[in-house]
Amino acid sequence: MTAIELGTNRHVLSEVRDGIAVVTMNRPEKRNALSVEHMEELTEAFRRIGEERDIAVAILRGAGPVFCAGHDLNELATCDARTARHIFQTCTTLMETIRSIPQPVIAQVHGVATAAGFQLAATCDLIVAAAGTRFQTPGVKIGLFCSTPMVAVSRVLPPKKTLELLLTGDAITAEEGERLGMVNRVVPLEELEQATWELAEKIRSASRYVVGIGKQAFYRQLALPEHLAYAYAMEVMTLNALAEDAREGICAFLEKRQPEWRNA
């Protein structure tokens, strides 16, 4: 397996292994808390990934005992309105960047994903979690309701369950998250990296161009009424049908051979 370093910053390590980018949050001593600098480095890493046509999929993981403990509370403890707005805008930019890049992003989650860490996992396109992992929005317990995490979490969990988590600060386990459709895979901790990699490899086997079209279309149609969603999807699929990879894939299927993607 060939590994190429995509970039190393103070809090984020990035590399590419055979077309799969691996982004590691590297603040284990702070439980990978999301300081402004950390979020800016993550945003830049995903922007670079989005610009690389040779990258098919990305994995986001955390170094140390947990995935991510949320915002760095040291930055919020005494901030003024301007600073608070900057913190939350930086966080929003990170989440929107993950959603906007063409590559699917898989969250490889272990330990805990708390508050903005839960938001980060929920924003990723897929989640593979270690058994016993806890997801939590505990802000109400410290007087800071998890309003921005709520945006991502309410889109991956049923409304009543989301509100219960927000109002009580209680945690949901990876196992319950899988039952509710939030988590794609739950595996023993020692199998987490392998299971995440196997899912990434399945995605990598498809046309990167077509996967990028599909990711964008999926999120856009969700926000539309059904009849408009069909109209939008029809146009997307029409353009997709004219792509080189669509024609290659159809011909390969009819000829009973493996397709040779040109990612175009």
How high is the pLDDT of residue 119?
A: 98
Q: What pLDDT does residue 264 have?
A: 79
> For a pLDDT cut of 70, what percent of the chain falls above it?
97
pLDDT at residue 1, rounded to an integer: 45
Residue 9: its pLDDT value, please? Answer: 80
**pLDDT reported for residue 30:** 95
- Please indicate whether residue 7 or residue 15 has the higher confidence score (pLDDT): 15
- pLDDT reported for residue 263: 87
Asked if pLDDT for residue 14 goes beyond 70, the answer is yes
What are the start-end ranges of the H helices in the chain? 36-51, 73-76, 81-100, 116-123, 147-153, 159-168, 174-179, 192-204, 208-222, 226-241, 244-254
Distance CA 209, CA 233 (A): 16
User: Does the pLDDT at position 95 exceed 90?
Assistant: yes
Res. 75: pLDDT tops 60: yes
Strand order in the sheet with 134-136: 112-114, 134-136, 171-173
> Taking the model in full, what pTM does it have?
0.95
Average pLDDT of the residues in 115-135 = 98
